[in-house]
Amino acid sequence: MSVNILGYEIYSNTKSELLSDISSMDKVNIISGNPEVLYNGLSNKFLFANFTNKNSIIIPDGVGVVLASKLIGNPVKEKVAGIEVMEDIIRKCEVENRGVYLVGTKQEIIEACVQNIQKKYPRLIISGFHNGFFDLDNCSDIINDIKTSKPYAIFVAMGSPRQEKFIVKYMDELPCTVYMGVGGSFDIFAGALKRAPRWMIKLGLEWLYRVIKEPFRIKRLGAIPVFLIKVLRSK
């Protein structure tokens, strides 16, 4: 079910198996594990503790992590993209008449995100939403709204490590089953950004498409070779 990479247990089964596994859990924190996020966790005690918590599942969301699993001789079955897991959970909630709650990003983005999700999944219960501009230590209005609406899943898009801090701080207090930091996924659902063409995704080149569209990301690619070198040295 998992492969150990640098102290992280990385989910090694397929996306469909993941959805089956989480359906039997009382609470689960799904972490989109790309090399940058996992590398940052190695030097951040808070993140590392969160990523290795018994309620956490790290999915191999990045070709760098897939390659790392091959380097240590225990390859994962497939790359599992966070945005696809998010949409599969949304689809599941629509079928099962369960609610979702969205927290994060700018007000105009989250409004467009909610509108587009509702249009695509008209029977989905969107229990509520809130932008990401608030004090994590002083947000009782948001927490109370989530408690009252009792969504099955909560998606948090505030970047790392802010989204992880929110989830860890309130996970035990909130009634949700699924907690997931989803980074820039709201921007894609809102139409502000687009995913790479299917052929690029299949070839593992989604990272290249994102760099072309958002050149500032090129600085973040440096984490990939450093991460892979650490993996090789750990063998």
Q: What is the pLDDT of residues 169-215, one digit of tens each?
A: 999 999 999 999 998 999 999 999 988 888 888 888 788 788 788 77
Q: Can you read off the two tokens belonging to residue 137?
A: 């230590």
Q: What is the pLDDT of residues 79-94, one digit of tens each?
A: 999 999 999 999 999 9
- Our count of domains for the chain comes to 2
Q: What is the mean pLDDT of the chain?
A: 93
* Domain identity same for 133 and 76: no
* Domain identity same for 169 and 206: no
Segments in the chain below pLDDT 70: none
Which structural domain, as residue segments, surrounds residue 212? 1-80+198-235
Residue pointed to by tokens 């958002």: 214
* Domain identity same for 180 and 87: yes
pTM of the entire predicted model: 0.94
Per-residue pLDDT, 62:
87
Q: In this structure, how many other beta carbons lie within 10 angstroms of the beta carbon of residue 13?
A: 16
- Contact between 227 and 38 under an 8 Å Cβ cutoff? The reply is yes
